[in-house]
Every structure is written in structure tokens, then in C-alpha cells.
Structure 1
Amino acid sequence: MKVLVTGGYGFIGSHVVERFEKEGYEVFIIDNMSSGKVENVNCKHKFYKFDVEDKKCEYVFKNNNFDIVVHLAAQINVTTSLEDPFLDTKTNILGLVNMLELSTKYKVNKFIFASSAAIYGNNQNIPLTEEEIAEPLSPYGISKCVGEEYCKKWNQIYDLDTICFRFSNVYGPRQGLIGEGGVVSIFMDNITKNKEITLNGDGEQTRDFIYVSDLTDALFKAAESNISSGVYNLSTNSRSSLNNLIRILNSLKKIKGIIRKEDRKGDIKHSSLDNTKIKKVLGWIPMVSIEQGIKNTFDWYSINYKTEENNIEKKKLKHNDKVKRYLPYIENVALFILVIVLSTFKNGEYLENTMDLKLAYIFIIGLTHGGKQTIIATTLTSILVTVENILKGRSVFTLPLDTNFAFKIGMYILVGVILSYIFERYLKKEQSQNKITESLKNEYDLLRNVYNEILVEKSVLQEQVVNSENSFGKIYGIIKKLDSLESQYVYSEAVEVIEKILKVKDVSIYSMDKNNKYLRLIVRKGKNDINMPRTATLDYLKEAKTNIFNGELFINKNLDMDIPMFICPINDDYGNPIALIMINSVKFERLTLHFVNLMHVVTNLIKTAILKAYKYEEAMRDKRYIENTPILKREFFENIKSIKKDEMEKNKSEFIMLKVKNKDKDVNSLSHLIFKTIRKSDYIGMTSQDDLVLILSNASKSDSHLILERLEEKGVQAEEYNEEYMYV
């Protein structure tokens, strides 16, 4: 089965992904990586980097038939929701609607939505049941409340199974420093850095903390259950204050100190959710106590969370950002100083330059940085020109009246404005082009990923078609073994065909006499779990008699241990049973309609091959047998002997050969005496040395003495035929 986890690289999502993968699901992740980390997930999965509100998500649904969608992607910071409600709404509502729409369109079986205890607001009817009125205090809580309503209506309108879970404060390994349960990781981060803990309020505010493994267990059980809709609290139904949390942490590592601040806007004073409903419906109970959960989290945090390295990396990034931010100013000032140096005094006189360095300076800054830097360059140049004129003895009050001065300043300003306009226009055009390019690149990357996935699936399917055990080529190769006109050869290969196609370990074929009373083993492959005798009366299979004479497949529905699981009769054109195919030792989980249908196909192929062989043998009787005798001619007898040897090597089928010693008697009369003694599955024939030899199928060396005595009673003298492959 396939499951899609949105926000699968996040704190909760990564645990959900690992749980479903562990249970045998094929897992897919959609995550925009805003807070998730690739290293959070160490199991097999497929990843798509999209926002959940992005229409490109349809590609993911279109190319994967998801059975379950677990929607965890969200903006989870209460403070952010207050500062930027639009961002909160975009992710938490538009993203949800997009997922619901795609789940309906592509026929997802079940949709699980992660809601929050934040929808209850500051309700003091603790523990809070699912029937309490929703009174959220923040846009985050509002978005979750609206999300639940969307799920409810989607279930009613589109018949999509939607389950909403109101999470209490989740904590555990891999948790970030934001979100409702983030207080645990924030405290641990400060303890690890040996910093003081910042506590908002008096610390008596309570939370219903739930360990992440308990939560993922509930989500998985819900996915596997028959629940089709509803809202459920997912909590421990307990209250733990922040002061108690600090006490537990202090027992693990000494806390440096506590900084107390005012309550945060939008925070809830007390929170505890009643989990009676989910415990009753799912049979789920939380297993991890707050003390054990905090210890597990602290142990993971101490080992895996490299705070110092993170801080160093953050400082480097901040430093690089500052350098990038101030670099244009530094370059501008440096170039201006260079202009001053080149325009400085020499022997008390100004240099008379053929090129206006100030104008060149404005051009260079305008073309490289544009906008703000061009204005700065123009201003600095105007100041420099003014200073130069003052140093020449000009009055600052008369300078504006000087047409040359005014023209020069005006020219600098005009050039600066034009360059700034050109640069800004070019920059906007470039940014627009970059956005288009980025969009096309994302589209290409998506199509490339889809193409690669389809290519992999194609290769897998091609491998299955060409090389798998159920491929057309291999099935044809197996069935081809039945393409023979020798009935004994068909019987011999039939058990192997059944074993390979049906994947069973105990197959046998019995022949039935003309009177429909006795069964005689022709060939067996496997261990004979039910100890079916080599010779038996039809009454041994009395439960299957009706099916046998009607030519119908018998299925041992009562699971009687003394008879085979399946019996398939092979009846001739007149409806008379000539042989029975018996199959046993089939694994219980394979007893499906598909298995029965496959058995019908295989046994019908075998039946067709055997009847064809019998008809051929009957048509060729004059050529196969010595005239007026049941004795096979040399060519055909040698062929039967070869088949028996192969059976012995492949299926461990026993047989013995006896040579007739009566040289003085007529072969015709001898053959009729012998034929009355042997069975339908036995053969008489002439060897290449002109010896009259009997082949007794499924008879061991210990049986030979009894058979020799019977022949002697009929006046036939015989002895064991000494030849290689004579016995097993």
C-alpha cells in the first residue's frame, strides 16, 4: 500500500514516515523544507519538494495511487500566525484544500488531518472533550478549526474518509525550537548551551504533553482501522506544568537559572484533552510517561543536536550576509577615494585631465550597482566639485550663479538619474526573466523526476514481464513441457508444471481403473504430507466422489487432514475419470480465488495434453504394440524406460524392471498371462537385446519378490533386470 505524508521531513512527519515504512507501506513525502530536514528520515521513501498549496502536487497524486494521505504540513508557530496571518492561512487552509481536492480526484481511501488543541482556546472545562465549543485565540487555532470543518464537509459531500486528530503538546526526538510543544526543545537547547531558561508567566500553566511515538502509533492504527470520519483528541489526558517540566530537566542536568517574563500574547493558560473517545474506538493507549519521554528526548538531543556547530554555522552565515550587504557601499567609497587621489594637487596646481574622472565614476557605479549607489555617487561627486571650487577661492554663495558649475552639477545628476533608471529597469526585467526561468526549471525538474520514476517503474515491469517466474516467456517454457504425445511423459512433466506455476510442494497424479474403483499412483513430487498410499480405493476419497464423476474441481473446505486440499479429475470425452491430480501443502494465505482460477487454467492445460496423448497412442496402437499383444515394440519401450529414468532422477519416483525367462513359451500367450497380473500404469515391452521386460511403476525393490511370486503362480518365470538406473 502507498501512503503520502505531507511535511514528512518535519519532527512529527519523520516519525510517521518511519512507522509506516516499518509496517510495509511504500512511503512518499511532500515537503517544502522550510523547517524539515532530510536527515530526519533514514528509511526508504520518495520525496517531492513542493508547497502543499502548489498545483504541481497534482503530478504526485496522478503518478501514484495513494491509499492513505497523512496531512501534517502546516505553519505551526502561534507567534508567526499573529504576526503574519496571511502566511498562516495560505499554508494551513489553502494547502489543506489542495490536498483534499487531489485526494478526492485521485480516489484516496483515507485522509488523516493533523489538527490542534489550540482550537479550544482558553477553555477551562478540563479535560476538554471533542464536544467542547471551539474558541481559538490565534490565527493558527482558527486555521485548524476551519481545516476540521473542511474535512467534515469533504466527507459529507465527496464521501472521502477524513479523520481529524487534535494533537496536544507533542514532544520527542528531532523536535525543533518552534510550535506548541517546542517549549521542551527550547528548554533543552538552553540547558545544552549552559544558558538560563526563559519562562513566560509563573510556570504554573499546564500542558498535556504526548510523546511522539505514542502519537504515531495512534495515527497508524487509525489508518489501518475501519474508522471513516470523525474528530478525536490525541493526548495523554494528563496535566503537567512548566515548573514540573523544569524539575524533570533539572534532574537530568543542572539548570543555570530561570529568567521570568510576562505571558505571551495568544498563549493558553491550561490545556488537557480527554482521550476517552480514541481509546475506545482504536483500543489505543499512550505508553510513555512524561519522565521517560523527557529522558529519551534529552538523550537524543545530547547526542544528535550539535548546538556549537550550528551556532558557528549561523555566525558564518550572518557574517557573509553582512559582507554582501555592505560590499556595494565599500566599493562605492573606495572608488570615490580613488577619484579624489587622481584629482589631487600637483605642485600646487590641479591636474588638467582630458577625461572627466567624476563622470566616469558615476558611470561605473551606475552600471554596476545602480539605484541607491548611483544617488550616493552623484551626491559625493557634487560635494567634491563644490569643495574643489571653494579651494580655488570661489565663494560658496556665488557658485550657484556660475553657469559652468550649475551645468556640471546638472549633468552629473542627469547622468545619475538616467543610469539609475536604466539599471533599475534592467534589474526588474532580469528578475522577471529569472522568475520565469526558475518556474520553467522547477517544471522541468518535476517532469524529469516524474520521467525518472516512470522509467524505474517501466524497468521493473519489464523485468517482471521478461524474467520473473510469472513472465509470459517462462510460463510458455513451463507449459511447453506438456507438448508431448507420450502420456507417461506428460504425466511426468505435469507435476513439475504444477509445482512451478502454482508454487506448491506436494503434487501427485493417480490413474483410475476402468471400473472406477481403484487408484494407482503414476507420479508424485513432494513429501506426501497426508501419507496418501500408492494404491487405494476410490472410497478413500469419498468426499470428492461427486466432483470426480462430474469432472469438477474438489476443494477440501473442511480442511480434512486425511485427504488432499485440491483434487482435479481428468475425464475423457465420455465423462469417465481416467486420472486425478492431487495437490496438498498449500499455505493458508495462498488459498485465494486467484489461486483457484490459476489452478483451473493449469489443470485444463494438463487435461488437454493428456487426452491428446491418449488419443495419439490409441491411433498409433498398431505401430506401438506387437500385433495382437500388449507388448510395446523396442522403440516405444525404450522411450518409456528413458522417461522412467528421468522421473527417478527428478521426482525420486521408484520403479523396478523384471525380465521374463520363459524362452520356450509363445510371446503372445506369455504377454496375456503377464497382463492379467500387472496394473494399468505398468508396461511390457521388448528391449534392444530382444528381452521381454516388465516396468512396474512406483514399486520398490522390496516389492519385487511379491510380484515374482504372483508371476510364478501364472507359470511365468522372471528375474530382476540388471541395468543401470534400475532402482532409486
Structure 2
Amino acid sequence: MSETVAVTGAAGFIGRWVVAELLDRGHTVYGLDDFSNGSERNIEEFRDDDAFQVYEGDVRSKEDVDRLFEHDVDVCLHLAAEIDVQESLEDPESHFDSNVVGTQHVLEACRRNDTRLGLIGTCMVYDMVDSEEGIDEDHPTKPASPYAGSKLAAEDLAEGYYHGYDLPVTILRPFNTYGPYQKTGMAGGVVSIFTDRDIRGEPLKIFGDGTQTRDLLYVTDCARFIVDATFSDETVGEVLNAGTGTDVSINELAELIATGDTEITHVEHHHPQSEVQKLLCDPTKAGEILDWEPEVTLEEGIARLRTWLQDSEESGS
């Protein structure tokens, strides 16, 4: 059944893939983005689609959020957020405003319009000290930055609306997501940064000793998870992780990506206190409830990303 869906952060890296997934499934999509982190390029291919419309606006503005909900929205996917750990340490207020106040505006709009909500959180809310095993949804939380704290506060607010107003809310915590349209500068993910540097023949710089591990989820698998989980009646009131259940060390990742004469170097970590040594997801719950599992292997995902980056470079986009 075709639904009318609002997507905040629609022009962001994951947001544009969620929009693509929704349009592929025949839904009508209204997006909101302030284009501070997202970009016009990310949603360019949807511009001529009659089922998609995007507004430039900010979730920190109640008026901008309310305008999005004038379309009799059935489902909202809330991805808009400030997402930089280091920036949150330097400017905690901006993360609070976007991630907590912005989420409050979205929750109020959902409550008034009886709209189902998928709140996209982060694995960074978990206590990373004791994560030798895969992290499941019952793992203790311990936000280690204002970014993580603001995201956890947003989740708590959403849970309050679920229990207090019976608002259908699902909280989603994807692990490290990578793929086309992710930034390749310092604000990007390690897979995108390494692949871009390899294409350019630049050294792959590993912070620290490279033994730290990540659970790397390809972005189309992430988008499919977000849509499946939000639309499922079985997930209402639940928290769900998304990851592959396999982690890879940064050293191994660099070896996997490096081609030809590309040099791999180790450099001193500029923020060692914020480094997470091991990130491994336990995605069992999503598999049991949604029958969801990742389809794209790390090798295949890197190959797709490499092709996309090369094509983008050739076209000058």
C-alpha cells in the first residue's frame, strides 16, 4: 500500500538512500533538509520524480517541521541530526538544539497527526568499554560525548511519547554505514576516505595502531532496514540494531582497499580519547522480527563504492 512519508535529513548520505528505497516501493516522499550536511547532488536524480518533493528547512524550526506535515503524512523517518563527535565536544549546544529540540518538534508533529515514527539513532549510545561480544539492544548505554548524549536523550523523548501517548515509535541504531554519497573528507566514514585516497594514489592514514575494529554496513542494506523496521507493526515500541555481526580491524580494511603501490601509514591519533576500540553489532533481533539481514558483503560494497567514486570523478560531480 502506498503511503505518504516524511523524511527529515532527506539530502544526507543515509537519507538519500532511504528516499530511494521509499520511491522504489511506490511511496510518496516529502523531504526536509537544511543542506548544512546533505547536498543537492545527493537528491538530484529524484528531482523529476512526481512522488518526491523536498523543502529547505531545519528541524530546529517548528514552522519548518509543521510545513512538512501539511501533506497528511502517514509515516515519518527522522534522520536529521548533528552527527560529529568532535564538533559536539567543541559546540555541545548545537547538537542539543538539532538532536533534542529538533526531535521534540518532530514528535509533536507526529502526535498531532497520528503519524508513525522511525527514529534513527546511533550505536554510539552504547557503553563501548565492555563490547568484546556483539552489542545487542540490551547492552548498557553510556554516551561518551554530547553527540551521543543528545541522541540518547532524543530516544528517551520518543519512548516517552510511545508510552505517554501511544504514538507508534520505533528506535533504530545502525552501526557504521558506508557507500556512495558519503563524504570522503575528515567528516566521512573510514571506508569512503580510504577508497577515495586509494583512487587518488594517496597514502591510507590509519590513526593509532589500527587494531580498532568496526562493523561495516553497506548503505542500501541500512536503508532497507530503516524502511522495513519503521513500517512493521512488530517493531513498534522496540529498539533495533542494524549491522553485519562481523567486525574488521582498520589494518585489515586498509589492506583490503589498498591497490597497487598505495602506501599504508600509521599516524598519531588526534583524538585518542574518543577512539572506540571495538564495534561489533549483534543484529539477531532485526533478523528475528523483520527477517532482515545484510545482502552486500564488505568486498562487494567496497567495489560498488570504488566504481561510484571513479564515475563521479570522471563526470566532475
TM-score by length of 1: 0.41
Partner of 2:196: 189
Q: How far off its partner does 1:121 sit?
A: 3.6
Indicate conservation of the 8 Å contact 1:170/1:180, yes or no: no
Paired residue for 2:175? 168
* Equivalent of residue 298 in structure 2, options 290, 304, 310: 290
* Residue in structure 2 matched with residue 269 of structure 1 by the alignment: 277
Give the gaps of 5 or more residues in structure 1.
311-728
Q: Deviations over 1:382-419 (max 9, x none)?
A: xxxxxxxxxxxxxxxxxxxxxxxxxxxxxxxxxxxxxx
Partner of 1:152: 159
Q: Which amino acid aligns with 1:190?
A: R
* 2:6–2:69 contact (8 Å) kept in structure 1: no
How far residue 246 of structure 1 moved from its aligned partner, in angstroms, is 0.4
Larger radius of gyration: 1
Within 5 Å, which residues of 2 pair with 1:401-412? none
Aligned to 1:247: 255
| Structure-2 change in CA distance of 1:173 and 1:213 (3 Å) | same
Aligned length: 307
1:21 match: 23
Alignment match, 1:114? 120
Question: SS of 1:221's equivalent?
Answer: helix
Q: Secondary structure at the match of 1:258?
A: strand
Asked whether the equivalents of residues 242 and 286 of structure 2 are also in contact (C-alpha less than 8 Å), the reply is: yes
Shift in alpha-carbon separation, 1:259–1:97, aligned structure 2, 3 A: same
Q: Deviations over 1:95-138 (max 9, x none)?
A: 11111111111221x10111111111423232111111101211
Q: 1:50 aligns with which of 48, 57, 68?
A: 57
Q: Contact 1:170/1:181 (CA < 8 Å) preserved in 2?
A: no
Contact 2:58/2:65 (CA < 8 Å) preserved in 1?
no
Counterpart CA distance in 2 for 1:183 and 1:61 is 33
Q: Distance in 2 between matches of 1:113 and 1:259?
A: 37
Assess, with a 3 A threshold, how the Cα gap between structure 1 residues 248 and 143 changes in structure 2: closer, same or farther: same
Partner of 2:310: 302
Give 2:209's aligned residue. Answer: 202
Compare 125-134 and 189-198 and name the one that shifted more. Answer: 189-198
Do the aligned residues in 1 keep the contact of 2:213 with 2:250 (CA within 8 Å)? yes
Matches within 5 A, 1:422-433: none
User: How far did residue 62 of structure 1 move?
Assistant: 4.5
1:232 aligns with 2:240: yes
Farther off after superposition, 189-198 or 112-121: 189-198
CA distance in 2, matches of 1:58, 1:260: 43
State whether structure 2 residue 141 is matched by structure 1 residue 139. no
Moved over 3 A (4+): 177-181
Q: Any idea what SS the aligned residue of 2:238 has?
A: strand
Matches within 5 A, 1:312-323: none
Does structure 2 retain, via aligned residues, the 8 Å contact 1:112–1:162? yes
- Residue 219 of structure 1 is matched in structure 2 by 226
Closer/same/farther in 2, CA of residues 62 and 294 from structure 1, 3 Å limit: closer
SS in 1 for 2:62: coil
CA distance in 1, matches of 2:281, 2:185: 21
Give distance in 1, aligned partners of 2:306 and 2:160.
41
Please state how far the C-alpha of 1:145 moved relative to its aligned partner: 1.2
Give the Å deviation of 1:259: 4.1
1:447 — aligned with what?
none
Structure 2 matches for 1:372-521, cutoff 5 A? none
Deviation, 1:306, is 6.3
Q: Which amino acid aligns with 1:240?
A: V
**Is structure 2 residue 41 aligned with structure 1 residue 39?**
yes
The residue identity in structure 2 corresponding to 1:244 is E
CA contact 1:124–1:270 (8 Å) conserved in 2: no
What amino acid maps onto 2:196 in structure 1? D
- 8 A contact 2:172–2:239 mirrored in 1: yes
* Rounded Cα–Cα distance in structure 2 between residues aligned with 1:23 and 1:247: 37
Q: Distance in 2 between matches of 1:89 and 1:224?
A: 28
Task: For structure 2, list consecutive stretches of 5 or more residues without a partner in the other structure.
Answer: none
The question of whether the paired residues in 1 share the 8 Å contact of 2:155 and 2:171 is answered with yes
CA distance in 1: counterparts of 2:212 and 2:173, whole angstroms: 19
- C-alpha deviation, 1:224, in angstroms: 2.9
Contact kept in structure 1, 2:31 and 2:68, CA below 8 Å: no
Matched with 2:74 is: 67
Q: Note the aligned Cα RMSD (angstroms).
A: 1.9
What is the SS of the residue equivalent to 2:206? strand
The answer as to whether partners of 1:211 and 1:290 remain within 8 angstroms in 2 is: yes
Q: In structure 1, how many angstroms separate the alpha carbons of the residues matched to 2:96 and 2:161?
A: 19
Secondary structure at the counterpart of residue 121 of structure 2: strand
Equivalent residue of 1:299, what SS? helix
Number of the residue aligned with 1:508: none
Separation in 2, partners of 1:254, 1:208: 27
SS class of match (1:229) = coil
Task: Give 1:256 deviation, angstroms.
Answer: 3.2
Separation in structure 2 between the aligned mates of residue 238 and residue 208 of structure 1, nearest angstrom: 6
Q: CA deviation at 1:39?
A: 2.1
Rounded Cα–Cα distance in structure 1 between residues aligned with 2:106 and 2:168: 13
Distance 1:97 1:118 in 2: 20
Which AA in structure 2 matches 1:221? D
Q: 1:257 to 1:277 in 2, by over 3 A?
A: closer
For 2:270 and 2:134, the matched residues in 1 are separated by: 22
Q: CA deviation at 1:263?
A: 5.9
Query: What displacement does 1:76 show?
Result: 1.1
Which has the higher mean CA deviation after the structures are superposed, 46-55 or 174-183? 174-183
Secondary structure in structure 1 of the residue aligned to 2:245: coil
- Higher relative contact order (CA closer than 8 Å, sequence separation 6+): 2
Alpha carbons of structure 1 residues 132 and 214: separation in structure 2 relative to 1, 3 Å: same
Instruction: Name whichever structure is richer in helix by fraction.
Output: 1
Contact 1:233 1:278 in 2 (8 A): yes
Percent pairwise identity: 30
SS in structure 1 of the partner of residue 205 of structure 2: strand
* TM-score, normalised with respect to structure 2: 0.91
Matched residue SS, 2:173: strand
Deviations 1:486-537 (A, max 9, x none): xxxxxxxxxxxxxxxxxxxxxxxxxxxxxxxxxxxxxxxxxxxxxxxxxxxx
Instruction: Answer yes or no: is the 8 Å Cα contact 1:68–1:111 preserved in 2.
Output: yes
1:712 match? none
Displacement of 1:235 in angstroms is 0.8
- The one-letter code matched in structure 1 to 2:144 is L
C-alpha distance in 1 between matches for 2:77 and 2:233: 16
2:135·2:282 contact (CA, 8 Å) conserved in 1? yes
